[in-house]
Amino acid sequence: MIELDGLQKAFGSGRQRVEAVSSVSLQAHPGRVFGLLGPNGAGKTTTLRVIATLLRADAGMVRVDGVDASQHPEQVRARLGFLTGDTQLYARLTARETLRFFGRLQGMSDTRIDERIGELSTLLDMDSFLDRRVGKFSTGQKQKCSIARAVIHDPQVVVLDEPTSGLDVLSSRSVVEFIRHSAQKGCTVLFSTHILSEAASLCADLAFVHRGRTVEQGPLDEIMDRHNSRDLNGIFLSVVGEA
């Protein structure tokens, strides 16, 4: 589970101070996919990076599976898999070597690493390039490898920053199926996206973020009922336009 209450994060000071997140609150539950929606610059990526403990919140509460992220960041990192927007993979390593390297960093046994590589290779359709060097990968292959790297330790909480951005249809489908599978096995899944059709088909719950604050959230069906619409594009424009 992920819990945020009154999250705030700013950068710089004085006249250079930029308030990236001013008031974000949400709850993402196990076994459900939670979508974080908002225009560019709304504060989505900053919010996700605070959850992943890559940034420290200025104020507010952040808990992952009951663990306070500001007080015990190392415990949060052990429970969480995070896909950032930057792949940053080692070009000279193969996908298998990459996953083995990061599995060992997580303290996993070689036997368990190899089991997990097999699971992820099947889930993300990586068999055809598992033993090729990353430097020769397509964008979709790099993204799949990055996702596998993020969850090699089989975390119960999965946080993904625009996981299908820039991918072709086939690669996107594999990533979407991985997200769906993760929720079905009981993981808490939180992801940001600009693709509203994707959010509509995947998410049980949504939060709309605009100008650093939560402006709408809840179960997808309840949001649609409140706005008397089944059109997520229209709801998005209405919520962001009114905020």
Q: What is the pLDDT of residue 13?
A: 86
Q: What is the pLDDT of residue 77?
A: 95
**Tokens at residue 63, please?**
């808990």
Share of the chain above pLDDT 70, in %: 99
Residues 70-79 have pLDDT tens digits of 999 999 999 9
Strands 2-11 and 18-28 come out as antiparallel
Residues 168-192 have pLDDT tens digits of 999 999 999 999 999 999 999 999 9
Q: The whole model's pTM is what?
A: 0.93
CA 191 – CA 200 distance, rounded (Å) = 13
Name which of 46-60, 109-123, 229-243 the model is least confident about.
Answer: 229-243
Contacts 24+ apart (CB under 8 A), 217-222: 217/25, 217/26
Structural domains for the chain? 2-242 (3.40.50.300)
Q: Which stretches does DSSP call E strand in the chain?
A: 2-11, 18-28, 33-37, 59-64, 67-68, 80-83, 157-161, 188-192, 205-210, 213-219
- What angle (nearest 5°) sits at the alpha carbon of residue 144, between those of residues 138 and 149? 125
